[in-house]
Structure 1
Amino acid sequence: MRALPVLFAALLLLASAAGGAVLPPADGSGGTTDGGEEAGSDIPGLLADDDGPVPQTETNDTDGNDTGESGTDTRLNVLGPPIGQPTTVSIRHHSASLGPASRLETGETTAAIRTEELIAHVEAADTASERNDRLVAAEDAIRRAEARLHERQRQAIAAHSNGELSDQELLVEFARIAATAEVLQTRLEVLAALADETAGSSLRTESLAFRLNVYSGPVREYALETFRGGTTPDRIYVETRADVVVLAAIDGDQYLREVYRGDRWDRSADGSGRDSQRALERTLSAYPRIDERSGSADTLGTGGVTRVTVPFDGGRLRTFVSAGDGDVFIEHQRRDLETFADGDALTTTQDGIGLTVDRSYPAGPVRVTAIDQATGDPIPNASVTVAIGSDDSVEVGTTNEEGQLWLLSPARSYRVTIVDDPRVAWISEIRPTDPPRIPEPTDDGETAS
């Protein structure tokens, strides 16, 4: 069993990291935790849903303004919630807490002990037939655990959409689900190694392994790192409706976006031999502008789920495509902020400040730029505040040495204010652009734009 020690060591490390995670209070508040110790200070959120759920639209008002300074088309389609259906939207600051907080469901020793018990149970079998039976039973247990994770995710998204779960609670639950899926994936690898050493074994774990892949994503990883205190806290955009979630964040100089559409995933479909080619064709069709800018695409999958990875200049797109109707049901985007278009700009000059806001679609990146009109130089360290709708202004950061700050676009009109004491400039009634959505499937299996 040469393969097992390495896999088992990886599981121990993963379980230790998961169990040692430090999470903030579930309600995002300051005050005290259950342990009575003081948690992080309360930071106001940027709410985008005070007026009720935000309906999605299918129009696109930016067709003529989608090129960057170089003239290269920089817009990339996005997967979003179903068109015309209301969603719950917010952008809140998520801070790391150093006080006692919830431990992830997979404790630092429990997962490793259970895997050790599984190995011992399989190896204690008296015959190859009995060993195979125990391997199949263990794989079936992981399959049932994956089904429970799917249901937990569905219930968490629905609860957030109904107002029963806060942003913080939703992200913490996602972190727990992702950590559990990682442990199950590692356990599945252990089973595969045991099966390779078992005479007559027909155990096939690839299909289940791909199902476990759907519970992670770039924004969830970013949120988990924030909760553990490994990165500077920032705002995360959260949008939900029943079995649909959109998450977005800005991490340094990168834009992160992930979308899950449970209504597009046919979990009963088994797939076929041409799933990989069809998944690639569906991805390139849904994101038609990516092919001319991309490197070689990679497809991998089996048993009803195919993952397509398309690297491109300045970023990476990853989709998960369901068998059956062949719909893209998960989108992951990582993009350099500087790859976004400069065409949807609003400008003003007030109090000697030249203020420019490069708009974007809801959850997309917005660039704020402040220039001193007298000298033409950027204004660094200027305070930037945002007010959404009729909400009070909230400080969201300060400009860098280039006089710029990147924000996430709210889902409705907002105001951006620059304060370079004593000077002030602002732009009001900034309307987000309409998202460049990928087509929606219709009832007859065709697609509608």
Structure 2
Amino acid sequence: MRPLPAVGVILLLVVSVAAPVAGFAPPAQTADGSGQLPQITAVDNTTNHLAIPASDVRSTTYNRSSLDVGVAVAVGSRDLRSDYATTNFERQFFQQDSETARDRLVDETLTDIESQRTSLEQRNQIAIQRYASDAIPATEFLRQRALIDAESRQLADRLERVRTAAGTAPGYSLSPDQRFRLENNRGVLKTYRGPISQRISAETAGGTEPNAVYVEASSEGYMLSTVSDGRYSRETYLGQDRDPTATDQFGQTDDPLGAVNTRAENLYPWLYSEQYPSVQAYGRSAIYQIQADHPNGQLTAYLDGGTTNVFYETQHLELTTVDRSEVATGVNQSVRVRVQQSFESGPLLVTATDNSTGSTADATVRINGKRIGTTGGDGALWTVEPRGEYTVTATTQDGDRVRIPVSGSA
């Protein structure tokens, strides 16, 4: 059995004090976001969030996924191939009686996973670029997101089963290089899947009720956000803030995780005032994860060591914790519709009441012509606010319509 490496491959730390780290000076933010500075938007009384710079946005729309047999079949087929590859590896691995033979199998499997991961990265970039340039519609972009999410999870499962096999084989352990390769891949794969992409995959397979998703894209990034089950969720990726070829600035310090923590506190000050996150590094990938459950929900953010910026982030906010204000009201002879907003691309509440009785009214809601949903029995619909000015249209079951122009959140 090989001796374990002196430095652990996975570093996990729940930091209790956020003190500046010697030798690391976090870049200052500027209003225009120039000079490779982080695109973090400040939000009052809750966590800041990663956002596509306004000048970079190329496409915005709402989309509602539907049953897609092609996606379901593709995901199922890839599941079968992945499971076969993993089962075949495990069978051969435990049949070997030498460390050299097992090393060879592990290396071959890691190489195969790395090859598929690279293909996944390329497909992700192509899908973003094609959607941002209007070469494909939002439906196809989200279809690609669903497939990429599913395959990322499949590859992550293969990595975990390689780790498990190596850890249970008598007299065998992974080499330091193999451990780093495994963790590098695990870190990268985490940034190609997210809660909304996973939900879309379930929706296209018919396992979850379809929900309206607000979609934004730039030439190198995307943002997905939705409201369901009493909470607002968003998933944001900015490819320009990930530079795997650059020197890991956090890794150059005496305390890399402390440097990450210092940087993250600068980006998410409200979070650090409420709950210190866990901080984790992934091998030599220069990917650093911070994660926290806070009073308003959950945040997971990934910082790149080369740029020191957040390049991928997922968030959940409980709707009961979101500050909102009424910004517009529309009235006709039978119904009154109110619009309450929170922050740009944040939760939006549309309510409808009957003018004669004051009771709730069921109305179909559209934003900029896109059907979002209905206010239902309680007369309320939560959704996501788009960027800029927009129009909310509510139509009752009797055909009465209220059209409300709204100025976007500042």
TM-score between the two structures when normalised by the length of structure 1: 0.72
Question: Aligned match of 1:119 in 71, 90, 105?
Answer: 90
Question: Aligned match of 1:403 in 379, 382, 404?
Answer: 379
1: CA distance, partners of 2:389 / 2:296: 29
2: CA distance, partners of 1:349 / 1:75: 33
1: CA distance, partners of 2:158 / 2:104: 17
Q: 1:401 to 1:280 in 2, by over 3 A?
A: farther
Matched with 1:144 is 115
Partner AA of 2:379 in structure 1: G
Matched with 1:431 is 407
Q: CA deviation at 1:173?
A: 1.6
Instruction: Give yes or no for the alignment of 1:365 onto 2:347.
Output: yes
Q: CA deviation at 1:319?
A: 0.4
Matched with 2:394 is 418
CA contact (8 A) 1:106 1:179 kept: no
1: CA distance, partners of 2:183 / 2:272: 28
Question: Aligned match of 1:237 in 208, 214, 219?
Answer: 214
1: CA distance, partners of 2:346 / 2:45: 13
Matched with 1:207 is 184
Instruction: Give yes or no for the alignment of 1:159 onto 2:150.
Output: no
Matched with 1:385 is 365
Partner AA of 1:317 in structure 2: L
2: CA distance, partners of 1:395 / 1:325: 39
Partner AA of 2:320 in structure 1: E
Instruction: Summarize the alignment of residues 37-436 of structure 1 with structure 2, pairs less than 5 Å apart.
Output: 73-97=44-68, 102-104=73-75, 106-125=77-96, 127-196=98-167, 197=169, 198-199=171-172, 201-202=174-175, 203-204=178-179, 205-268=182-245, 269=247, 272=251, 274-292=255-273, 294-302=274-282, 303=284, 304-343=286-325, 345-351=327-333, 353-373=335-355, 375=357, 377-381=358-362, 383-388=363-368, 393-420=369-396, 424=400, 426-434=402-410
CA contact (8 A) 1:355 1:425 kept: no
2: CA distance, partners of 1:325 / 1:412: 29
CA contact (8 A) 2:335 2:361 kept: no
Partner AA of 2:234 in structure 1: R
Matched with 1:51 is none
2: CA distance, partners of 1:162 / 1:397: 28
2: CA distance, partners of 1:212 / 1:243: 17
Q: CA deviation at 1:425?
A: 6.1
1: CA distance, partners of 2:361 / 2:232: 22
SS at match of 1:84: helix
Partner AA of 1:263 in structure 2: Q
1: CA distance, partners of 2:207 / 2:48: 31
Q: CA deviation at 1:159?
A: 1.1
Partner AA of 2:188 in structure 1: R
2: CA distance, partners of 1:344 / 1:277: 42
SS at match of 1:175: helix
CA contact (8 A) 1:353 1:423 kept: no
What stretches of structure 2 of length at least 5 have no aligned partner?
A: 1-30, 34-41
TM-score between the two structures when normalised by the length of structure 2: 0.78
Q: Percent identity?
A: 22
SS at match of 2:404: strand
CA contact (8 A) 1:384 1:416 kept: no
CA RMSD of aligned residues (A): 2.9
SS at match of 1:96: coil
SS at match of 1:334: strand
Q: CA deviation at 1:108?
A: 4.2
CA contact (8 A) 2:128 2:220 kept: yes
Q: CA deviation at 1:348?
A: 4.2
Partner AA of 1:417 in structure 2: T
Query: What is the aligned residue count?
Result: 360
Q: CA deviation at 1:362?
A: 4.6
Q: 1:421 to 1:400 in 2, by over 3 A?
A: closer
CA contact (8 A) 2:150 2:198 kept: no
SS at match of 2:58: strand
Partner AA of 1:305 in structure 2: I
Partner AA of 1:159 in structure 2: R
SS at match of 2:345: coil
SS at match of 1:154: helix
Q: CA deviation at 1:100?
A: 9.2
SS at match of 2:280: strand
